[in-house]
Amino acid sequence: MNGTPASWRPRRGLHRVGLSLGRGGRPLRIAYGRLFHEANTFSPLVTTRDAFDNAFALTGDALARATTLRGKELEGFMPHAELTGFAQAARAAGEVETVPLASYLAVPSGPLDRDCFEGLVEDQLARLRAAGPLDGVYLALHGSMEVRGLDEAPEASLLRRVRALVGPDVKIAASFDLHANLSAGLVEPLDVLVGYRTNPHWDLAPTGWRAGNRLIRALRAEIRPTHAWRKLPLVLGGGMTIDFLPPMRGVFGWMRALERDPRVLSASLFMVHPYTNAPDLGWAAHVCTDDDPALAAELADALAERAWAERDRALPKMHTVPEALEEAARTPWRKLGPVTFVDVDDIVGAGAPGGNTRIVEALLGRDDPPRAYVPVHDPALVAHTWDLPLGSEHTLVLRGTPGYDQPEVPLRAIVAARVDGELGRYVRLDVGSVHLAVGESPPLPIHPRFWRDLDLDPRQADIIVQKNFFHYRMFYGAISFRHVPVVTDGATSLRRVRDRAAREDRHPGARLSEWRTHDPALRAAR
């Protein structure tokens, strides 16, 4: 069963003629901004406003400059992201005035405190009020935020308030991360909804372009977006869920084929971030057509069927730390570059604090440990060692993130280097061949320059520990050729996802044979 409806056949060349460049013979005015965060409910850390006051924070004219082709929207990470894609879609369409609001993004971490969230939302709303008359609004969101003490999805709260402010005649578009947890509160306020189509996520700018293009065409009455979506009782499945590898390659290829038909404006599959406490947690399929509700419903059903068919595809083998060390010692790939240990239970890219000490403990317990580069969150140890002379040797204790319940590891270490950069302060501690990057913030060293800034050559390592599932591969593709998933008991442990209680049954915690009977209740949740 491939899930393709018999009535759907791709069509080409059917385009509605545009009625005008703007509305009422004047240029369009569209405001744009971002509020982006992915939360991990199992983290002991609470995210406060200072996490968003970083190098990615842009407002007003600074945001407008950053979203040009010469600008840098996400400094040090990705020059062109969703808001740049949107701005370029507006520029290409012509007769569109873009009104920058604010762009706030924080590294994935624990749930936001309520004051942080309310302050960020009120900031955006104040900028919307000051923007003057608008035809449209575009927001780049994640879809898996969590806020302490808030009884609705945070992005739903934001969109509800934006809709109340701008009124029913202003069209709203939003883009979401492919790991968003789609809900009625995220769908109903929107005229245009699109999601990333790549994992790892390299298509941020194309996603913003697609959102902007659909929004502008809708404002010009060239299209009439019509939505249908389905919710699956599924939190883990699809193997590695990488878009260009089996089994999900076929599903994402099918979605791209749908969008080649001009009747289909967008097709998105949301494979959910499983580490929040959302009561309606689960994968979702969304399809938007041009004024064809029957086709939208048919294709949403078909996309849901295709995703559900991959629910039992297994993840790669997970290794204990001793097993991973043995694998690194014997693999022939080590001759070509360092072996990557993916610390799957402590993924900062999925909101874990990064303070796992178990890999360090295992490395130092060996008689002849390999040359290893390991990032660890331990703000107290950074504060203790920051002013110590470089080259000095000290007896120390590595404890990891406060409240994370990690084993204490005694060290006799040399203070070898320090850096105060975009990720905060880091101290390099050398314990023989084991090199620790101890940080005051959760470590997300997805780029090799993280290690170079600490005077280490990534190519010279035997093992590099990553705190990210996928994105580092874009930057380490020519350096590391063997990737070993390692389990260590932390905030992103898949065991926590499988074993926790849920209001509704979910696969794989419950073995479910079909999804349709669960869909109405999941979609009804706010």
Neighbours of 506 (CB within 10 A): 24
The DSSP letter of residue 319 is: B
Q: Is 471 in contact with 401 (CB distance < 8 Å)? A: no
Evaluate if residue 497 carries a pLDDT over 70. yes
Domains along the sequence of the chain with CATH: 28-225 (3.40.50), 321-486 (no CATH)
Mind listing the pLDDT tens digit for each residue in 277-306?
998 999 999 999 999 999 999 999 999 999
What's residue 405's pLDDT?
A: 95
What's residue 219's pLDDT?
A: 98
pLDDT above 70 covers a percentage of the chain that reads 95
C-alpha distances in Å from residue 410, one per residue of 297, 360, 397, 431, 456: 59, 10, 4, 10, 23
What's residue 423's pLDDT?
A: 76
pLDDT bin (cut points 50, 70, 90) of residue 14 is: very low
Mind listing the pLDDT tens digit for each residue in 186-203?
999 999 999 999 998 999
Of 7 and 87, the one with more pLDDT: 87
* Token pair of 356 as six digits: 């796992």
Mean pLDDT over each residue of the chain, to the nearest integer:
93
pLDDT bin (cut points 50, 70, 90) of residue 8 is: low
* Token pair of 342 as six digits: 């993916």
Evaluate if residue 268 carries a pLDDT over 90. yes
Evaluate if residue 43 carries a pLDDT over 50. yes
Q: What is the mean pLDDT of residues 113-126?
A: 98
pLDDT bin (cut points 50, 70, 90) of residue 510 is: confident
Q: Is 401 in contact with 377 (CB distance < 8 Å)? A: yes
Going by C-beta distance under 8 Å and a sequence separation of 6 or more, which residues neighbour residue 53? none
Mind listing the pLDDT tens digit for each residue in 339-386?
999 999 999 999 999 999 999 999 999 999 999 999 999 999 999 999
Mind listing the pLDDT tens digit for each residue in 220-261?
999 999 999 999 999 999 998 999 999 999 999 999 999 999
What's residue 17's pLDDT?
A: 40
Going by C-beta distance under 8 Å and a sequence separation of 6 or more, which residues neighbour residue 110? 39, 40, 41, 43, 44, 45, 46, 47, 351, 353
Evaluate if residue 24 carries a pLDDT over 70. no
Q: Is 80 in contact with 201 (CB distance < 8 Å)? A: no
Q: Is 492 in contact with 347 (CB distance < 8 Å)? A: yes
What's residue 19's pLDDT?
A: 43
pTM of the predicted protein model: 0.91
Q: Is 427 in contact with 382 (CB distance < 8 Å)? A: yes
Neighbours of 522 (CB within 10 A): 24
- Strand residue runs (E) in 387-525: 393-398, 409-421, 424-431, 434-439, 463-466, 482-486
Q: What is the mean pLDDT of residues 427-436?
A: 98
What's residue 352's pLDDT?
A: 97
Evaluate if residue 6 carries a pLDDT over 80. no
Evaluate if residue 2 carries a pLDDT over 80. no
Q: Is 175 in contact with 202 (CB distance < 8 Å)? A: no
Rg (CA), the chain: 24
